[in-house]
Amino acid sequence: MDYEAVIGLETHVQLKTKSKMWCGCANEFGAPPNTHVCPVCLGLPGVLPVANEEALRLTALTGLLLNCSLPPYAKFDRKNYFYPDMPKNYQVTQYDKPSAVTGYLEFEFNDSLARVRITRAHLEEDVGKNFHFDRNSGVDFNRAGVPLMEIVSEPDLTSAVMAYEYLNALKDILVYGGVSDCDMEKGMVRCDVNVSVRPKGQSELGAKIEIKNMNSFSGVRKALDYEIPRQIEVLKSGGKLIQSTRRWDDPAGITEEMRTKEFAHDYRYFPEPDLMPFQPTEAWLEEVSRRVIELPLARKRRFIRDYQLPAADAQTFVWDRPLGDYFESIAKQAKSPKAAANWVINNLRAKMTESGTTLADVKFQPPAILELIELVENGKISSRIAQDVFTEMFSAGESPAKIVEKKGLAQVSDTAAIEKFCDEAIAANPGPAADFRAGKTAALNFLKGQVMKLSKGKANPALAGEILERKLKAGMETGN
């Protein structure tokens, strides 16, 4: 019997706010332990939380980016459990009235478009972080109370790779929207992986097994690559799977059971009495909707469609948004947007990387790239010389035409001059000349290269080719 996997993800993302969720402490990674704390985020008695408005906006914005609806009424609840990294002994979250519901996320997968439904996106708070030393343990509350958004997917994912691609697409959207930096190294994205298997064709879902607290996308993929075959193996050998929670042991490369359903927590959720329910006004929603950006995938498709770019170039302009914007500022006037993209990606980006500079430091105006392309297309300079002109443009900021004039780089289209170079090249390379005459047409390129060298790159290559060919063929007739 064939089995298939069913996967749903609960993704936790730290929001990009200046301050924490309920107090004014900085939301900042990497400060010395317990320096961003106050009575509110330390859970001292008698304090009152004030909801961070920007966190609410970013959650609503995420809802819009993920095609969700934003309910007119959302509220916060207390999720009660005891753990040393959580000073209040409850976490404030949104239980049954989340900020965003029923959306979807689309991403490229297996050469087509995958759509995963989003159940909800809700707002909660992060907890502190425990550290274990040789003889004692410590807890850092800098992270306690940092705004944390949870995005829950429907069980629409069917493989480890698909889950991995979903997470990457989600991350791209959140980074694009300015919702979160999604810096994995800093633990800004964490994920609970729910996975079950069932006989292919069966509509009923199998027992849900949850792998908790994954902190890397590749970890999620590896854990699923282990867990799916494990579950199938249990069923195939006549065993039974029960709803349970497991953890991923990365060094060992296995999942292991933590608890089964009968030992599941009872969180005793109840409405947070210290916070008003949240009812967004039209004006508030309008303000949030103005922050909606073009999604990465939409941008990629638009670049391919409007500028006839190959997918790889379009993807480069999605990942490097400022570079893409730079390209767009000249692409509309470009006769060949692809040529402009080549200059921007292969030359401009390379030079910036090499010199450790950014677009803000570029000395020439963007249309100079079009001017340069034009010089090549009109036969004024060779593409070889264009490289030198670009280097000069980049270091001095002068216009390409000016550089060509100043340095005397204009292409030689004067036939007499090229004839002379061709004669020299043939005379100096009797071997390749004979090869060409014997039918090895590739030898012409070598000779052409020699002509370019003799002319210091200035001979019009097309003309050089024609003249060389004519001379070599004439030589055949006269036996020279």
Q: Does residue 452 bind Zn ion (CB under 5 A)?
A: no
Return d(Cα 72, Cα 133) in angstroms, integer: 47
In whole angstroms, what separates CA 202 from the centre of its chain? 35
Q: Does residue 153 bind ligand ADP (CB under 6 A)?
A: yes
Give the list of residues 6+ apart from residue 56 with CB closer than 8 angstroms, or none.
Answer: 99, 123, 278, 280
Residue 153 interacts with, from ligand ADP, Zn ion, none (CB under 5-8 Å by kind):
ligand ADP
418: helix, strand or coil? helix
Residue range at the interface with Zn ion (CB under 5 A); choices 35-43, 154-162, 177-185, 362-370: 35-43
Nearest distance, CB of residue 8 and ligand ADP, angstroms: 2
Residue 25 interacts with, from Zn ion, ligand ADP, none (CB under 5-8 Å by kind):
Zn ion
**Nearest C-alpha neighbor of 342 from the set 322, 372, 318:** 372
Site string for Zn ion, 256-295 (x = CB under 5 A): ----------------------------------------
Q: Name the residue with tokens 């009797």.
A: 430
In the DSSP assignment, the letter for residue 189 is E
Residue ranges in 162-201 that form contacts with ligand ADP under rule CB under 6 A: 194-196
What is the token pair recorded at 22? Answer: 């309920």
Residue range at the interface with Zn ion (CB under 5 A); choices 34-42, 85-93, 130-138, 331-339: 34-42
Residue ranges in 194-233 that form contacts with ligand ADP under rule CB under 6 A: 194-196, 205-206, 208
Residue nearest ligand ADP by beta-carbon distance: 8
Is there a contact between 85 and 130 (Cβ–Cβ < 8 Å)? yes
Number of residues that this document lists for the chain: 480
Return d(Cα 230, Cα 313) in angstroms, integer: 40
In whole angstroms, what separates CA 356 from the centre of its chain? 21
Q: List the one residue from 61, 100, 152, 348 that touches ligand ADP (CB under 6 A).
A: 152
Exposure pattern of 179-208 as b/e (b: 16+ CB <10 Å)?
bbbbeeeeebbbbbbbbbbbeeeeeeebbb
Complex with ligand ADP: residue 227 or 272, whichever CB lies closer: 227
Return d(Cα 400, Cα 332) in angstroms, integer: 20
Q: Does residue 62 bind ligand ADP (CB under 6 A)?
A: no
Complex with ligand ADP: residue 121 or 447, whichever CB lies closer: 121
Residue type present at position 295: L
Nearest distance, CB of residue 194 and ligand ADP, angstroms: 3
Nearest distance, CB of residue 40 and Zn ion, angstroms: 5
Residue 38 interacts with, from Zn ion, ligand ADP, none (CB under 5-8 Å by kind):
Zn ion
What are the residues binding Zn ion (CB under 5 A)? 23, 25, 38, 40-41
What are the residues binding ligand ADP (CB under 6 A)? 6-10, 152-155, 194-196, 205-206, 208
